[in-house]
Amino acid sequence: MLENERPAFVSVSNLSKHYRTGLWRKQSVQAVNGISFDIAKGEAMGLVGESGCGKSTVARLLTKLTTATGGSVSVDGRDVLRLGSAAEELSKKRLVQLVFQDPVAALDPRMTLGQSLAAPLARHGIRGREERSARVRRILTEVGLEPSFADKLPGQCSGGQLQRAVIARALLLNPQFLVCDEPTSALDASLRTLVLNLLVTLRRDFNLTLLMISHDLNVVRFLCDKIAVMYLGEIVEYSPTENLFAFPKHPYTRGLIAASCLGRSEGRVATDDSVKGEPPSPLNPPQGCYFHPRCIHATEICRHEAPKPVSTSSGGLVRCHHWKVLSYEKLR
């Protein structure tokens, strides 16, 4: 928990996901390696990092689409990872909903959008066909689609239209915790603004709690109260949004900001801030700090000793041996 945080509505503790692979399944890939964070009721948290760092795996763990290797996830005091009765499992699914990154894969090509959206309503006890149809058409309007889209097949829609339909389906059950896995990546600039403004409105009007997974730092800075930065399955920095952008304390965070459109527009690009090379293989992560092969600030201790997460003076957490030096340096 960050300093001065409100009580947690979503509490993730030591969450891990390891995949067995290789000959005789003797090798292990640590897709998510013991991450922890809290989100207060009505708060929005961003989760950022390069492709392959484990962000989407976190989304699938929180919504039980993937079974966790270890750790716990509590939402509104309920353990969402523990198996319960059929009624309890339905209640958990209504409590937490996921907006998928790939809308084409998330929708059945043989079903109209109206049928795909109405299916979870029927499963959660809304039996009247007219009521389900009215809800579907109303939510389509709220995400910027004409009600007539309920009669269209996915193949008759553009990628942006399908993404908004997936968002509409997630919102139909009025969830309290919405996990958004790159929800704007398939949209153009105008539609991206529409969806982000919709999420802002829903969060304000319904006290909705959000986890926003995105590669776009402008999105998380606009929408989120705090941000967690992931690298190779671990959270390396966790901080209130404005503190993170003003004084990023981990060299990887500095590199992400400097390389982004945000960094370029604010004159934050410098050779020393850029991140060189490719991430190491999760099958064979480096000894010590996972980031040290790409870090210009790495020293001998970084190569041999993994840094532990420590509290910072600005109320965040960081996993770096040299954060005290970097924390007082503005991006160049």
Instruction: Give 195-229 pLDDT, tens digit per residue.
Output: 788 788 878 877 889 999 998 888 899 899 999 99
pLDDT above 50: residue 104: yes
In a domain, 307, yes or no: yes
Residue 280: pLDDT band with limits 50, 70, 90: confident
Integer-rounded Cα Rg, in Å, for the chain is 21
Share of the chain above pLDDT 70, in %: 91
In a domain, 68, yes or no: no
Task: Quote the CA–CA distance of 90 and 315 in Å, as a whole number.
Answer: 37
Structure tokens, 9: 């509505």
- Its domain, for residue 306, covers 245-332
Q: How many CA atoms lie within 13 A of 200 on its CB side?
A: 13
Task: Quote the CA–CA distance of 9 and 75 in Å, as a whole number.
Answer: 6
Structurally, the chain folds into a number of domains equal to: 1
pLDDT digits (tens, 9 = 90+) for 61-100: 999 999 999 999 999 998 988 877 776 777 778 889 998 8
Residue 173: pLDDT band with limits 50, 70, 90: confident
Task: Quote the CA–CA distance of 304 and 314 in Å, as a whole number.
Answer: 28
Q: Which of 8-17, 180-189, 261-270, 285-294 has the lowest mean pLDDT?
A: 261-270
In a domain, 326, yes or no: yes
The per-residue pLDDT for 271 is 45
What is the signed CA dihedral for 106, 217, 316, 70, rounded to 10 degrees? 20
In a domain, 140, yes or no: no
In a domain, 274, yes or no: yes
Nearest residue to 213 (alpha-carbon basis) of 235, 193, 183, 189: 183
In a domain, 270, yes or no: yes
In a domain, 64, yes or no: no
- Angle, alpha carbons 258-263-264 (nearest 5°): 110
The per-residue pLDDT for 69 is 93
In a domain, 25, yes or no: no
For residue 126, what are the contacts with CB-CB under 8 A and spacing of at least 6?
132, 135
